[in-house]
Amino acid sequence: MKRTSARLADGREIIYFDLDDDAVRRLDDPRELPPVSTASQIRHDPLLDEWVAMASHRQTRTFLPPADLCPLCPSRDGKQTEVPSADYDVVVFENRFPSLSMGAVDPGGAAHVPGTPVGVSRAGLGRCEVVCFSSEHQASFRTLAPERARLVVDAWADRTAELSALPGVAQVFCFENRGEEIGVTLSHPHGQIYAYPYVTPRTAQMLRTARRYRDEHDGANLFADVLAAERSAERVVVASTHWTAFVPAAARWPVEVQLFPHRQVPDIASLTDDERDDFVTVYLDVLRRFDALYDAPLPYIAAWQQAPVHADRDVAYLHLQLFSIKRAADKLKYLAGSESAMGAFITDVLPEDVAERLRSVA
pLDDT tens profile 141-171: 999 999 999 999 999 999 999 999 999 999 9
Mean pLDDT of 253-269: 98
The reply to whether 190 and 259 lie within a common domain is no
> In the predicted model, is pLDDT for residue 112 greater than 70?
no
Pairing of the two strands 255-261 and 243-246: antiparallel
What are the residues facing 201 on neighbouring strands?
none
> In the predicted model, is pLDDT for residue 116 greater than 90?
no
The answer to whether 362 and 245 are in contact (CB under 8 A) is no
- What domain range includes position 115? 2-198
The count of domains in the chain is 2
Distance CA 176, CA 55 (A): 20
Residue numbers annotated as active site: 190
> In the predicted model, is pLDDT for residue 262 greater than 90?
yes
> Of 143, 164, 198, which closes a domain?
198
Q: Which of 128, 174, 186 lies closest to 321, judged by CA?
A: 174
Mapped onto helix, strand or coil, the DSSP state of residue 240 is: coil
DSSP character at residue 176: E
* Alpha-carbon distances, residue 70 vs 96, 135, 137, 140, 167 (angstroms): 14, 11, 8, 15, 33
* Alpha-carbon distances, residue 299 vs 66, 253, 323 (angstroms): 19, 12, 8
> Of 172, 198, 224, which closes a domain?
198
* Alpha-carbon distances, residue 245 vs 236, 252, 270, 280 (angstroms): 6, 16, 19, 12
> In the predicted model, is pLDDT for residue 113 greater than 90?
no
Is 188 among the annotated ligand-binding positions?
A: yes
Domain CATH code at residue 81: 3.30.428.10
Distance CA 92, CA 99 (A): 16
The reported pTM is 0.95
**Lowest mean per-residue pLDDT among 16-25, 112-121, 146-155, 348-357:** 112-121
Per-residue pLDDT, 63: 75
> Of 175, 198, 221, which closes a domain?
198
Is residue 175 left, alpha or beta, with left meaning phi > 0 and alpha meaning psi from -120 to 50? beta
Is 174 among the annotated ligand-binding positions?
A: no
Instruction: Assign 98 a pLDDT band (cuts: 50, 70, 90).
Output: very high
The reply to whether 239 and 340 lie within a common domain is yes
**What pLDDT, in 10s, does the model give residues 289-334?**
999 999 999 999 999 999 999 999 999 999 999 999 999 999 999 9
Mean pLDDT of 252-274: 98
Per-residue pLDDT, 115: 61
Per-residue pLDDT, 114: 65
The answer to whether 223 and 260 are in contact (CB under 8 A) is yes
**What pLDDT, in 10s, does the model give residues 174-226?**
999 999 999 898 999 999 999 999 999 999 999 999 999 999 999 999 999 99
The reply to whether 32 and 54 lie within a common domain is yes
DSSP character at residue 231: H
Calculate the average pLDDT of the chain.
94
Mean pLDDT of 337-353: 94
Distance CA 259, CA 319 (A): 6
The reply to whether 231 and 253 lie within a common domain is yes
The reply to whether 272 and 141 lie within a common domain is no
Per-residue pLDDT, 111: 60
The reply to whether 173 and 240 lie within a common domain is no
The reply to whether 278 and 342 lie within a common domain is yes
The reply to whether 6 and 82 lie within a common domain is yes
The reply to whether 233 and 310 lie within a common domain is yes
Distance CA 28, CA 67 (A): 24
Q: Which of 122, 144, 146 lies closest to 133, judged by CA?
A: 144
The reply to whether 345 and 259 lie within a common domain is yes
**What pLDDT, in 10s, does the model give residues 31-79?**
999 999 888 999 999 999 999 999 877 777 777 889 999 999 999 988 9
The reply to whether 118 and 152 lie within a common domain is yes
In SS3 terms, 88-118 reads as CCEEEEECCCCCCCCCCCCCCCCEECCCCCC
DSSP character at residue 48: T
The reply to whether 159 and 10 lie within a common domain is yes
